[in-house]
Amino acid sequence: MTPSSPKTVTEQIKQVPPAVRPILLAVRRSIRAIAPAASEVAYQGGPPRSASFMWKIARYRVNGKNVVGFGTFPRHATLFFYRGRELDEGSGLLQGSGKDTRFVTLRSAADAETAAIKRLLSRAFKLD
């Protein structure tokens, strides 16, 4: 592979800090279980230059529209919902105050596989 070749999601996950790799693998499994037909698109930005910036790994699309994505920081991962504002039911699980996007912080692989996360994922994919 040449340096300019696009990286797959699997290749990117292999490059993230070992502490967060299991979280990313778990969230990927959860997304694939909920939406097996969704298109997985690898972000190509690469590692951030600062620990305070998210390294975006992948996004999932249905009918050409982004539904969810995930990325990582050195010690935790983030699952973000492109239409999160429409999913926010006041439980406090979704964070953020942007125009549309909301996110959930994942600190362990178990966090990515909870019933609450799977419900959010299911609802998000039903929006599109």
Question: Which pLDDT belongs to residue 3?
Answer: 55
User: What pLDDT, in 10s, does the model give residues 7-31?
Assistant: 899 999 999 999 999 999 999 999 9
User: What pLDDT, in 10s, does the model give residues 52-106?
Assistant: 899 999 999 999 999 999 999 999 999 999 999 999 777 789 999 889 999 999 9
Dump the DSSP string for 17-86: -TTTHHHHHHHHHHHHHH-TTSEEEE----S-SSTTS-EEEEEEEETTEEEEEEEE-SS-EEEEETTHHH
Cα-based distances in Å from 11 to 21, 28, 44, 125: 12, 13, 11, 25
Contact 28, 9 (CB under 8 A): yes
Question: Which pLDDT belongs to residue 49?
Answer: 85
For residue 38, is pLDDT > 70? yes
Nearest of 40, 39, 38 to residue 24 by alpha carbon: 40
Q: pTM higher than 0.85, yes or no?
A: yes
Which domains does the chain carry? Answer: 9-127 (3.90.1150)
Question: Which pLDDT belongs to residue 91?
Answer: 76
Question: Which pLDDT belongs to residue 4?
Answer: 59
